[in-house]
Chains A and B, each alone.
Chain A
Amino acid sequence: MEPTSSASIARQTWELENNIPAAATDPDAMDAIYRYDDSVQARAQQEKPWANDPHHFRRTKISALALLKMVVHARAGGTIEVMGLMQGKCEGDAIIVMDAFALPVEGTETRVNAQADAYEYMVEYSTINKQAGRLENVVGWYHSHPGYGCWLSGIDVSTQMLNQQFTEPFLAVVIDPTRTVSAGKVEIGAFRTYPKDYKPPDEPVSEYQTIPLNKIEDFGVHCKSYYALDITYFKSSLDSHLLDLLWNKYWVNTLSSSPLLGNRDYVAGQIFDLADKLEQAEGQLAHSRFGGMIMPSQRKKEQEESPLAKVTRDSSKITAEQVHGLMSQVIKDILFNSVHPSSKASTSAPDSSGPEPMVEA
């Protein structure tokens, strides 16, 4: 029973398959990113390579700590949008986020006024942190969209455009804590806006996500004025070591999590939204049924899908998540409930449950 060695073999296989360079696992190289060199940053500020190319930054690297802090803060806000700032540096065409901290302002409507409060807090926090060894500058902001996806709303776009005019380099990150918990994977997006009047080249559509009906107009109007950056994560050697060990205590939580129970409200909302979208799609399709006159207008580009197809995609996604949750419940039921004290366990069967679900490798 060597969970650590089989886990490390599995990880090495995975790393090989995903072409992670060997340097990524060397502890000194991993930790090199934590060094903050003032002169390099000052030089970058003077050169401003981003001033000429609106598409200059293409990637972002987020540290494990920053991700954890942002997700926890976003989740703590519940259904209220929360926001905070990120500290880091830039390196070539990547913005590196080392740390994040929360701001004591909430809500979207009052965002413009709250900027003053936020700036005060931010200045105080940054100066204090410099004393304690956190030398990086503020390099972006993050906020949460609980339940309605990772994209920039109209207010967000104008805020970000303002920031990109005056405090470059700046990055906008959006986190959806509700979808994170529901889907079991982190829902996060990093964006930068194009300057006004800039015509972006036609971008391939990024990963599709479902947007609730009441927000879809806001999304559609502005979705062309910003672009998404690739997100990768990094962690220090000590972090990896600790996280590995953490698994020894963590597996209990993994097994005992019940996504079905936790997400009831969210799923109900999603289904409701889906029903509305279905009605809309039905209305659109009904018009096209009669006569070929309208046919040519229906011929769309290959990329766009008819509303009905979109609804189908959304419904499959929700259902898949539900099925995952149900599978966990069924597995737990088999493990812990199908035991009867009357049956005499044979001498060689150590497990207390009847059917042996998994055989240890």
Chain B
Amino acid sequence: MSAPSDAAPAVSAPAPTTTAAASSGGFTFKLHPLVIVNVSDHHTRVKAQAACSGDSSSSSSAAGAGAGAGQPPRVFGCVIGVQRGRTVEIFNSFELVLDPVSGTLDRAFLEKKQELYKKVFPDFYVLGWYSTGSDVHDTDMQIHKALMDVNESPVYLLLNPTINLSQKDLPVTIYESELHVIDGSPQLIFVRSNYTIETVEAERISVDHVAHLKPSDGGSAATQLAAHLTGIHSAIKMLNSRVRVIHQYLVAMQKGDIPVDNSLLRQVSSLVRRLPAMESQKFQDDFLMEYNDTLLMTYLAMFTNCSSTMNELVEKINTSYERPTTRRGGRGAFM
């Protein structure tokens, strides 16, 4: 469920190699957070290394061409993942070496790396490449074309590493290449595509863990409960705020402040009609069964707890009020 506000891309003056219009291809892109953290780590590493080697050119790290003075050097790498039909899922990424002179990728390196990664993740294919920077550069199309013989339609992932505290959206954009006719001649240009963040449960938990720096030890049951509920609470708060946005938008449309947008209205209507999410009797039965199972577990745990406490109590009583049966030492021997 992505809020409709995500879908409006800004239109800017098109550079010769790019255009910011939404892609017309039918691919849906799914991005895993691991890739984002990977690219960010690569960038930070190279920046830290370049800063510490002073004003000498970044020779200690083979980062990339085109670094402006005072700007962190660009980094390049490859993204890998799985493509099933029209869905492209990007799971992981690794670094690449760019030849600073010719501006092309080091092919041998790429192949070596690919081989190594294939051994560990046999299902993943090279899906494209990534780079950092604030906007697409002219030289990027060259690299993109070079990668085309590995994958016929690679994706280009651009991460903007400048930290802008006021922005609300991830500074990650995914570009595809399309053949458009410009000035009478067919040219390849970059078009933006939308993407969603996809995750597996384990990834989500570790991202959550690092993002919010939750206390890493067990803590008491109360703190664990608090942590769990806080997570859900923040998620629900988000949901609430998004719903309010939609509501305000609709109210404004009703008043006439904003021109009526029928496609948006259709989307909202279909969303509202999806609730209640589940209404069948079978669901209710299964839900109640699960509920009862959990209650049963709690009951059993309580029982175990009680019997353990009882056992301790009985032991203590036995110890303190032991009647002298066969012992000749008499009472008080076990005090």
Q: In the complex, which residues 183-209 of chain A have their Cβ closer than 8 Å to any Cβ of chain B? A: 184-186, 207-208
Complex contact B239–A68 (CB within 8 A): no
Complex contact A351–B243 (CB within 8 A): yes
Q: Give every chain A residue within 8 A of B319 (Cβ-Cβ).
A: 292, 295
**Contact status of A186 and B206, CB under 8 A, knowing A1-B245, A75-B200:** yes
Bits for A334-353, please: 1 = Cβ < 8 Å to B, else 0: 01111111000000001111
Nearest B residue (CB) for A74: B202
* Chain A contact surface mostly: helix
**Contact status of A34 and B209, CB under 8 A, knowing A134-B95, A252-B1:** no
Bits for B205-241, please: 1 = Cβ < 8 Å to A, else 0: 1111111111111100100110111011111111111
Q: In the complex, which residues 233-290 of chain A have their Cβ closer than 8 Å to any Cβ of chain B? A: 233, 235-255, 257, 259-260, 262, 271, 278, 285, 288
Any B CB within 8 A of the CB of A304: no
Q: Give every chain A residue within 8 A of B121 (Cβ-Cβ).
A: 102
Complex contact A37–B204 (CB within 8 A): no
Docked CA distance A180–B210 (Å) = 14
Interface residues on B, range: 35 or more
Any B CB within 8 A of the CB of A225: no
Complex contact B45–A246 (CB within 8 A): no
**Contact status of A125 and B116, CB under 8 A, knowing A131-B62, A231-B216, A360-B237:** yes
Complex contact A308–B301 (CB within 8 A): no
* Chain B contact surface mostly: helix
Q: In the complex, which residues 97-146 of chain B have their Cβ closer than 8 Å to any Cβ of chain A? A: 97, 109, 112-113, 116, 119-121
Q: Give every chain B residue within 8 A of A248 (Cβ-Cβ).
A: 168-170, 238
Interface residues on A, range: 35 or more
Any B CB within 8 A of the CB of A65: yes
Complex contact B318–A295 (CB within 8 A): yes
Complex contact A34–B228 (CB within 8 A): no
CB distance from B127 to the nearest CB of A (A): 17
From A27, A125, A177, A232, B163 is in contact (CB under 8 Å) with A27
Complex contact A133–B49 (CB within 8 A): yes
CB distance from A317 to the nearest CB of B (A): 8
Docked CA distance A312–B306 (Å) = 9
Complex contact A295–B322 (CB within 8 A): yes
Complex contact A352–B272 (CB within 8 A): yes
Q: Give every chain A residue within 8 A of B291 (Cβ-Cβ).
A: 326, 329-330
Docked CA distance A34–B49 (Å) = 8
Q: Give every chain B residue within 8 A of A338 (Cβ-Cβ).
A: 276
CB distance from B159 to the nearest CB of A (A): 8
Any A CB within 8 A of the CB of B13: no
Complex contact A242–B205 (CB within 8 A): no
Q: Give every chain A residue within 8 A of B232 (Cβ-Cβ).
A: 254-255, 327-328, 331
**Contact status of A254 and B208, CB under 8 A, knowing A72-B200, A295-B319:** yes
Docked CA distance A67–B161 (Å) = 21
From A132, A330, A360, B96 is in contact (CB under 8 Å) with A132
Complex contact B52–A71 (CB within 8 A): no
Any B CB within 8 A of the CB of A36: yes
Docked CA distance A179–B263 (Å) = 45
Any B CB within 8 A of the CB of A23: no
**Contact status of A239 and B301, CB under 8 A, knowing A68-B206, A246-B197:** no
**Supplied contacts A132-B95, A337-B279, A358-B240, 17 more A-B pairs, CB within 8 Å:** A71-B203, A131-B109, A135-B60, A180-B205, A181-B201, A235-B210, A236-B40, A245-B169, A246-B197, A248-B170, A278-B304, A309-B308, A311-B308, A322-B298, A326-B294, A331-B232, A360-B237
